[in-house]
């Protein structure tokens, strides 16, 4: 029976266990989207994970969704990431950068630019800005000639990521950000080759992945998807047909992995597992709201075809999560009020398990 603590071959990487640290926005970057020494410590503390996937990293200034997030679109940003990846590798770890283009989920107060998405349809809800939450603004619709530039930005950021020492990248195609906006029925109202029929709505995702593969190779490229998720107001009316079509286009590219969130019914997820020939990471959730992935959730999905299991919140307060899971130690709770507050409190202040004498 497959265990969380079995090894797994992921492209060129041999993972010592099947525990993945899921990408989590922590808004601790410096001015100019630079990675910081605190970020190097944070990721190095968690290097016992089989694989770390970083927080979302914007591939361009217009792609920035939240204030305080890092980028991979300037030489200075590349230099700032090198100590981070070096620290993870020095501790024996492996790390992919998650490339995240926010699309319509942004605000001019964050990056000085009007958000751009598939169509002039605002996200639902309030977005983060430097002065607090504000209603999501009206985005401008990307022109047909402009869309390929945004697809290429994933590959350009991936190339910079490898230069910065990352072992690979994960395209963020989930949670209502740009790739899922193109997949959506209600955020994408286009009438050109990027909208309408399923074959057109998956085109942007396929092009973004293809550019990334061209830039750094398939063995260093993964993608995260959240089939049927309605975060930021996106809707997908026929999830099985949409994601079946997408995976049939992506499967021949021989990517490092597919990372699925449990955001649709199990029957659909198992169908997608059958369609995907390579490594599958499952993130059992919950995507939003309280709670953490439990060991029982991991075992459940490992026995249903997942190769790796990603844990998000559990890694925040448990830098030694792998060892706690291996030995059955209790998991420490995280202080949710510190998730996005900046600084090192609630970021670097969680210790490994403290054993006491009997």
Give me the residue spans of the domains in the chain: 8-338
Instruction: Round the average pLDDT of the chain to a whole number and report it.
Output: 96
177 among known catalytic residues = yes
Report the pLDDT value the prediction gives residue 286, as an integer from 0 to 100.
57
d(CA 8, CA 14): 6
pLDDT at position 356 over 70:
no
d(CA 253, CA 280): 15
* Beta partners for residue 309, in sequence order: 19, 282
User: Buried b vs exposed e over 185-199: b needs ≥16 C-beta within 10 Å?
Assistant: bebbebeeebbeebe
Closest residue by Cα to residue 259 from 222, 285, 230: 222
Residue 316 confidence class, pLDDT cut points 50, 70, 90: very high
| Single pTM value for the model | 0.96
Report the pLDDT value the prediction gives residue 76, as an integer from 0 to 100.
98
Residue 358 confidence class, pLDDT cut points 50, 70, 90: low
Q: Which of 43, 154, 177, 243 is catalytic?
A: 177
* Beta partners for residue 224, in sequence order: 172, 259
Question: Domain spanning 8-338 has what CATH number?
Answer: 3.20.20.70
Which residues have a Cβ under 8 Å from the Cβ of 286 and sit 6 or more positions away? none
Q: 3-state DSSP call for residue 106?
A: coil
Q: Are 312 and 339 in contact (CB under 8 A)?
A: no
Lowest mean pLDDT among 58-62, 284-288, 322-326: 284-288
Q: What is the average pLDDT across 205-212?
A: 98
- 345 by Cβ neighbours in 10 Å (0-12 / 13-18 / 19+) ranks as exposed
Report the pLDDT value the prediction gives residue 288, as an integer from 0 to 100.
46
d(CA 215, CA 162): 10
Q: Which two tokens stand for residue 14?
A: 């041999």
pLDDT at position 289 over 70:
no
Q: Which two tokens stand for residue 330?
A: 């209790």
Tell me the pLDDT tens digit for each residue of 211-236: 999 999 999 999 999 999 999 999 99
């Amino acid at each position: 029976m497959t265990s969380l603590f079995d090894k797994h071959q992921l492209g060129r990487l041999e993972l010592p266990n099947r525990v993945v640290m899921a990408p989590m926005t922590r808004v601790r970057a410096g001015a100019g989207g630079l990675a910081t020494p605190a970020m190097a410590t944070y990721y190095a503390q968690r290097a016992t994970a089989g694989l770390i996937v970083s927080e979302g990293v914007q591939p361009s200034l217009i792609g920035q969704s939240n204030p305080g997030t890092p980028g991979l679109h300037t030489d200075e940003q590349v230099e700032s990431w090198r100590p981070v990846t070096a620290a993870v590798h020095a501790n024996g770890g492996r790390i992919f950068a998650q490339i995240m283009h926010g699309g319509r989920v942004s605000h001019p107060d964050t990056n000085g630019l009007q958000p751009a998405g598939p169509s002039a349809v605002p996200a639902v809800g309030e977005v983060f800005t430097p002065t607090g939450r504000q209603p999501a603004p009206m985005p401008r619709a990307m022109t047909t000639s402009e869309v390929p530039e945004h697809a290429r930005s994933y590959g350009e950021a991936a190339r910079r990521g490898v230069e910065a020492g990352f072992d690979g990248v994960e395209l963020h195609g989930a949670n209502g950000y740009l790739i899922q906006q193109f997949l959506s029925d209600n955020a994408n109202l286009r009438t050109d080759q990027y909208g309408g029929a399923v074959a057109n709505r998956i085109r942007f995702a396929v092009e973004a992945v293809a550019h990334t593969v061209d830039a750094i190779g398939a063995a260093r490229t993964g993608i995260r998807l959240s089939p049927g998720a309605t975060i930021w107001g996106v809707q997908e009316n026929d999830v099985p047909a949409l994601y079946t079509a997408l995976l049939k286009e992506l499967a021949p590219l021989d990517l490092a992995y597919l990372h699925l969130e449990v955001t649709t019914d199990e029957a659909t997820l198992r169908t997608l597992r059958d369609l995907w020939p390579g490594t599958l990471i499952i993130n059992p959730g919950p995507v939003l709201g309280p709670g953490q992935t439990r060991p029982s959730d991991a075992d459940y999905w490992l026995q249903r075809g997942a190769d790796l299991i990603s844990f998000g919140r559990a890694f925040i307060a448990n830098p030694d999560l792998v060892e706690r899971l291996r030995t059955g130690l209790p998991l420490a709770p995280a202080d949710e009020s510190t998730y996005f507050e900046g600084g090192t409190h609630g970021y670097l202040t969680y210790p490994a398990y403290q054993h006491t004498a009997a």
